């Protein structure tokens, strides 16, 4: 049985275990039907041209978990941002872990999706927002919608500035082979509200950078996550993603963000590892005076691969979008950046900026970068640029004349190259955490406090 067939037949078993009177039941059944029609992306699919996703679509994968894994705090404490107070929603192998979570319903909902889907009180919200902005022609979004049951739910009421950040943490215990996880999150920021959200994906690490429970024939998890974010008028979301996983685990991350007028969303994506990581980050601007900011740092080594597909749909006038992605590729690692900017005919006076810079450090590393601008308005400012190269010789010489060794100078310049993207990270503790990960990834002892 192919993985596609297996998924379709798994749905019948999955359905038995869900409430068929739930408002999302129809969405699930429609989605699996649509998935059955289109299946997984084929080899000639342009959208997946440079990412060999079939490599990780092993037909042994299953959406059913057999057992529950408990993990000691000691092993996961570094996955949290140290030194800050935060709301926490923690999932281990896709299942909610109440032990380390810190959720709330006091004036604001920061909790799990499964509880909301079964609660009449939230039916209005679900009908208004759930699965309204996902791409109904995208295989993995459809698959996630079919099997969606658990994930984070965040609802910030109007005029509220959230008192502390939210950490949504997905941990793979590695305790079971062949898992395909389908986390689903729904985030709603009402009018004039403001929040900071950090979403991260980690795995427990054993010897040789493998899963601690790995054995010959072990198939590492594939996570197919989907996050829907609705940002109402004049709301402000500061959103961060950390993808720092094993070289053997893979992640497909579909994020859909719908913005209303006067709102601002900033999304930083830190991709520091995984076997194959695919980000589909989609912004829809539904109103005037909207600002959408996307920044990213990718640092890979070994045979890792990361793909950033971004989409900004400028559907209204007087809006802005800003994209700045940097990549550092060591060893045989590979990367993709595809930045699509779609400007509708009525979307006059918009300003769209896009920049993608890459450092190829490994001799066999490579990157495919492609700006994709589709502009139907005539009074807009759209700029884009990309570079692929090595470190600047004149900068290297400058550092060396100050007595800094070649190795250190290269490390420092590489660090500087990435560090430059961090200036808008507003959470100081997170900034420090990211700087340390970067220094560690580059393997340089910088000799100053980060």
Partner 1 sequence: MLEIKDLHVSIDGKEILKGLSLNVKPGEIHAIMGPNGSGKSTLSSVIAGNEDYEVTKGSIFYKNENIEDLSAEERANRGIFMSFQYPVEIPGITVTNFIKTAINSNLKARGEKEMAANEMLKKIRDKANMLEIDSKFLSRSLNEGFSGGEKKRNEIFQMAMLEPSLAILDETDSGLDIDALRIVANGVNKIKSSSNAIVIITHYQRLLDHIIPDYVHVLQDGKIAKSGNKELALELEEKGYDWI
Q: Residues in the site for partner 1, rule: CB under 8 A?
A: 392, 394-395, 397-406, 408-409, 412-413, 415-420, 446-448
For residue 282, give Cα distances in angstroms to 222, 292, 293, 339, 351. 21, 10, 11, 10, 17
* Smallest separation (angstroms) from partner 1 to the CB of 243: 21
* Smallest separation (angstroms) from partner 1 to the CB of 384: 19
* Smallest separation (angstroms) from partner 1 to the CB of 420: 4
Comparing CB distances to partner 1, the nearer of 115 and 396 is: 396
Comparing CB distances to partner 1, the nearer of 136 and 426 is: 426
Comparing CB distances to partner 1, the nearer of 208 and 394 is: 394
* Smallest separation (angstroms) from partner 1 to the CB of 298: 16
Comparing CB distances to partner 1, the nearer of 217 and 447 is: 447
Comparing CB distances to partner 1, the nearer of 5 and 392 is: 392
* Smallest separation (angstroms) from partner 1 to the CB of 130: 41
Comparing CB distances to partner 1, the nearer of 125 and 404 is: 404
* Smallest separation (angstroms) from partner 1 to the CB of 56: 34
* Smallest separation (angstroms) from partner 1 to the CB of 390: 15
Comparing CB distances to partner 1, the nearer of 207 and 423 is: 423
* Smallest separation (angstroms) from partner 1 to the CB of 443: 15
| SS3 per residue for the chain | CCHHHHHHHHHHHHHHCCCCCCCCHHHHHHHHHHHHHHCCCCCCCHHHCCCCHHHHCCCCCECCCCCCCCCCHHHHHHHCCCCCCCEEEEEECCEECCCCCECECCCCEEEEHHHHHCCHHHHHHHHHHCCCCCCCCCHHHHHHHHHCCCCEEEEECCCCECCCCEEEEEEECCCCCCEEECCEEEEEECCCCEEEEEEEEEECCCHHHCCCCCCCCCCCCEEEEEEEEEECCCCEEEEEEEEECCCCCEEEEEEEEEEECCCEEEEEEEEEECCEEEEEEEEEEECCCCEEEEEEEEEECCCCEEEEEEEEEECCCCCEEEEEEEEEECCCCEEEEEEEEEECCCCCCCEEEEEEEEEECCCCCEEEEEEEEEECCCCCEEEEEEEEECCCHHHHHHHHCCCCCHHHHHHHHHHHHHHHHHHHCCCHHHHHHHHHHHHHHHCCCCCCCC
Comparing CB distances to partner 1, the nearer of 346 and 416 is: 416
Comparing CB distances to partner 1, the nearer of 176 and 324 is: 324
* Smallest separation (angstroms) from partner 1 to the CB of 329: 18
């Amino acid at each position: 049985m192919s993985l596609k067939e297996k998924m379709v037949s798994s749905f019948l078993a999955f359905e038995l275990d869900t409430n068929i009177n739930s408002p999302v039941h129809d969405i699930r059944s429609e989605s699996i039907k649509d998935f059955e029609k289109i299946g997984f992306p084929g080899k000639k699919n342009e959208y997946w041209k440079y990412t060999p996703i079939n490599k990780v679509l092993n037909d042994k994968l299953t959406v059913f978990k057999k057992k529950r894994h408990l993990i000691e705090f000691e092993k996961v404490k570094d996955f949290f941002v140290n030194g800050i107070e935060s709301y926490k929603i923690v999932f281990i192998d896709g299942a909610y872990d109440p032990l380390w979570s810190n959720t709330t319903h006091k004036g604001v909902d920061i909790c799990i999706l499964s509880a909301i889907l079964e609660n009449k009180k939230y039916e209005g919200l679900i009908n208004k927002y759930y699965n309204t902005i996902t791409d109904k022609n995208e295989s993995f979004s459809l698959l996630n919608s079919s099997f969606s049951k658990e994930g984070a739910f965040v609802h910030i009421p109007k005029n509220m500035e959230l008192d502390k950040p939210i950490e949504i943490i997905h941990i793979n215990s590695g305790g079971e082979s062949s898992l395909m996880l389908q986390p689903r999150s729904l985030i709603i920021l009402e009018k004039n509200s403001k929040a900071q959200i950090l979403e991260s994906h980690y795995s427990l690490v054993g010897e040789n950078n493998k899963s601690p429970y790995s054995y010959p024939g072990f198939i590492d998890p594939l996570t197919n996550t989907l996050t829907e974010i609705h940002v109402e008028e004049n709301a402000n979301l500061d959103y961060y993603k950390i993808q720092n996983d094993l070289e053997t685990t893979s992640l497909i991350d579909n994020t859909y963000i719908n913005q209303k007028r006067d709102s601002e969303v900033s999304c930083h994506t830190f991709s520091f590892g995984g076997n194959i990581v695919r980000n589909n980050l989609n912004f829809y601007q539904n109103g005037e005076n909207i600002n959408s900011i996307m920044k990213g740092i990718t640092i890979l080594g070994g045979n890792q691969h990361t793909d950033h597909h971004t989409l900004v749909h400028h559907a209204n006038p007087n809006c802005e979008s800003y994209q700045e992605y940097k990549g550092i590729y060591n060893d045989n690692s590979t990367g993709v950046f595809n930045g699509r900017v779609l400007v509708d005919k009525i979307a006059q006076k918009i300003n769209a900026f896009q920049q993608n810079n890459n450092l190829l450090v490994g001799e066999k590393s490579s990157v495919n970068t492609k700006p994709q601008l589709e502009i139907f308005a005539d009074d807009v400012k759209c700029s884009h640029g990309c570079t692929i190269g090595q470190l600047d010789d004149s900068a290297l010489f400058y550092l060396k004349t100050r007595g800094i060794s070649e190795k250190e100078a290269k490390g420092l310049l590489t660090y500087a190259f990435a560090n430059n993207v961090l200036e808008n990270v507003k959470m100081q503790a997170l900034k420090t955490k990211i700087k340390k990960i970067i220094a560690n990834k580059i393997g340089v002892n910088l000799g100053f406090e980060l």
